[in-house]
Structure 1
Amino acid sequence: MSSPGLPNKTGKRATVHDIAAAAGVSRGTVSRVLNGGYVSATARAAIERAIREVGYVPNTAARNLVMQRSQAVGFIVLEPHSLFLEDPNIGGIMLGANSTLSAADYQMVNLVVDSERDTARITRYLSGGFVDGAIIVSAKSHDPIIQVVGSLNLPAAFVGHPRDLHPDIPYVGIDNLASAEEITRRLLSTGRRRVGMIAAAVDRDSGADRLTGFRQALGPLFDESLVAEVPLYDFACGAKGMRTLLERDPTIDGVFAASDAVAAGAIEALREAGRSVPDDVGIVGFDDSSWATRTRPNLSTVHQPADDIGAHAADMVLRRLRGEQIPQQGLLLPSPIVWRASA
């Protein structure tokens, strides 16, 4: 007897012909069973037994070719490869999306855009019909991938809210501006007066909104020199940004870091400079990722529900594939503050 999912003893993939021969029925009867049609209980039992015996596995590729569907959704991350691996927030979004897609019997295809060459390659891939839809993470303003997805009329959803959002593509995320403003005010309430920010990824909606929220919370106390802009939400950028702030003002006593990974790097730079957290400098982050509990002390931060964001984005794509209307273009999920010992 062959094992399910393996070729039969001839070395070839088992077919409907093999099932019919083993069950002693016609190919049409086998096809009706495989497609959910009616046959007698005796015939069905014989066919199911034959399927197990020959090790038949449905040819999904052939079925999808007929249906002009790939049963796959692209998970497009517009970030460097290193950040894709380092940022647990992206990982959480990815797992949430994959869980929802898997439940609907869709495969998720990870596509990371780290260069112009990647953009050209993935544009060809999307245009070739290899995926039925797309989830787009960390899109920059005027990103060519946005234009490609829009021109293909590909069912899609954004994670985040790029400034030039395509009008037909829904999005899911959090209110980065309000959350950044709230946690900055909380930091100020601890008595800090020289408060700076390590502002990452300001070319993306999330980074720009977090900087705007920080600016609004400080009001007349805002000092442009106490903003260190860095390109990425990563540990190395956090350390570099913190060193920049210390050079500009050694009396700085509070820092809002644009992500937990950035905050972790900042804490390391403060430790190297002989500064204590939170006694000398209070620091807060953003995301409530695993970085927040790996730092010492644990990090005060904004909770971003990464798994739920990914799940909602995947659900939006699936609903569009089913031809359903999405009642609202944007969905913002709650993002409460989680206060710990770092501030």
Structure 2
Amino acid sequence: MHDVAAAAGVSRGTVSRVINGGYVSGAARAAIEAAIAEVGYVPNTAARNLVMQRSQAVAFLVLEPPSLILEDPNIGAIMLGANAVLSSADYQLVNLVVDSARDTERITKYLSGGFVDGAVIVSARANDPITRVVTDLALPATFVGHPADLKQGIPFIGIDNVGSARAITERLAATGRKRIGMIAAAVDRDSGADRLTGFRQALGRRFKPNLVAHVPFYDYASGMEGMRQLLQREPRLDGVFAASDAVAAGALQVLRELGRSVPGDVGVVGFDDSPWAQRTDPALSTVHQPAKEIGAQAADLVLRQLGGKTPEPGGILLPTPIVWRASA
């Protein structure tokens, strides 16, 4: 900055005001900008952050296996939505991958070390150590979804998984299906458990526990495995609610291999309205999840906290309309 001031013929204080967005005359600003270009000055971000006690970075943590992070387009959409909001506020999004107990320990130290100012956390389960770390640090954070042990006052954003699952199951049943099963994924977290609850509510007395195939993840392979389980238990199955579009795509593949027509023999519905839904044949009936908007609002809630605003109590639930296509 001393070199810039000398080249521009102004004081260092005037240079500082330009660098930090303060007011100077038009002539002084033009001279300083020309001097910056001449001497090749770049602000020292590390030094600035040390003075401000801010990193200008927000962590994005997805508590899922890395393979699912790459396969699930919803996670990518949430990330892009969050990044767009953070970028516009001159914050850097930092992706942190948790794949082992060692990762958890490493990331715990990272979060505790002041390397990020806040966090957006996706797919936390109950009793997740990352949730405890964020709570203990009082780190400005927003959860996508609502783990059961999330303390009151920590903001979250998501959708009504129970109501959405109930609504699409009811619509599937209204097509005349009598033997409807579910491929229930990820019931160890709130989204999976809530979608199973909505399915049960929709069927009421017609619900049969043996027509629920439990699979670990919202992925294609789990959909194939779950579909095989259901057909072994009930060969006359005529309807399937898959807990995600990727799961539904896997189920459709098994039905195709076995010569079952969709929707003639079996009606299939999914959840998310992700790119999977329009790539399947036939196109998938599903629930639209506004993933990009979820990410954007999650990031905005973090920025509000960093700006000193206390989040309103309770979470934010976004609407999830049914998108009806050919698969049912």
Task: Tell me the TM-score normalised to structure 2 length.
Answer: 0.98
Paired residue secondary structure (2:240): strand
- Whole-angstrom distance in 2 between the partners of 1:153 and 1:127: 10
Q: Which moves more between the two structures, 114-123 or 260-269?
A: 114-123
Listed as ranges, the gaps of 5+ residues in structure 2 are none
Q: 1:277 aligns with which of 247, 258, 262?
A: 262
Q: 1:145 aligns with which of 113, 124, 130?
A: 130
Q: 1:289 aligns with which of 274, 280, 284?
A: 274
Deviations 1:144-195 (A, max 9, x none): 1110000000000110111111223110000000000000000000110110
Q: 2:234 aligns with which of 241, 244, 249?
A: 249
> 2:137 matched to 1:167?
no
- Whole-angstrom distance in 1 between the partners of 2:261 and 2:159: 32
**Which residue is 1:219 aligned to?**
204
- Whole-angstrom distance in 2 between the partners of 1:118 and 1:146: 14
Could you say what the CA RMSD is over the residues aligned between the two structures, in angstroms? 1.1
Counterpart residue identity of residue 177, structure 2: R
Deviations 1:73-125 (A, max 9, x none): 00110000000000001111111111111111110001121221211111111
- Whole-angstrom distance in 2 between the partners of 1:152 and 1:279: 55
Deviations 1:293-314 (A, max 9, x none): 0000000000000011011111
Query: Cα distance, 1:140 vs. partner?
Result: 0.4
> Sequence identity, in percent?
74
The aligned length equals 328
Distance 1:39 1:272, change over 3 A: closer
Q: 2:306 aligns with which of 315, 321, 333?
A: 321
Q: 1:156 aligns with which of 141, 164, 169?
A: 141
Q: Which moves more between the two structures, 184-193 or 52-61?
A: 52-61
Equivalent positions of 1:1-343 (< 5 A) are: 16-343=1-328
Listed as ranges, the gaps of 5+ residues in structure 1 are 1-15
Distance 1:157 1:39, change over 3 A: closer
Counterpart residue identity of residue 143, structure 2: F
Paired residue secondary structure (1:162): coil
8 Å contact 2:153–2:313 — kept in the other structure? no
Counterpart residue identity of residue 47, structure 1: I
Paired residue secondary structure (2:308): coil
Deviations 1:187-241 (A, max 9, x none): 0001101100000000000000000000111111111110000000000000000
**Which residue is 1:9 aligned to?**
none
Query: Cα distance, 1:259 vs. partner?
Result: 0.0
- Whole-angstrom distance in 2 between the partners of 1:65 and 1:113: 27
- Whole-angstrom distance in 1 between the partners of 2:212 and 2:74: 23
- Whole-angstrom distance in 2 between the partners of 1:44 and 1:335: 50
Query: Cα distance, 1:62 vs. partner?
Result: 1.1
8 Å contact 2:211–2:230 — kept in the other structure? yes
Query: Cα distance, 1:36 vs. partner?
Result: 3.5
**Which residue is 1:3 aligned to?**
none
Task: Tell me the TM-score normalised to structure 1 length.
Answer: 0.93
Query: Cα distance, 1:21 vs. partner?
Result: 2.5
8 Å contact 1:146–1:166 — kept in the other structure? no
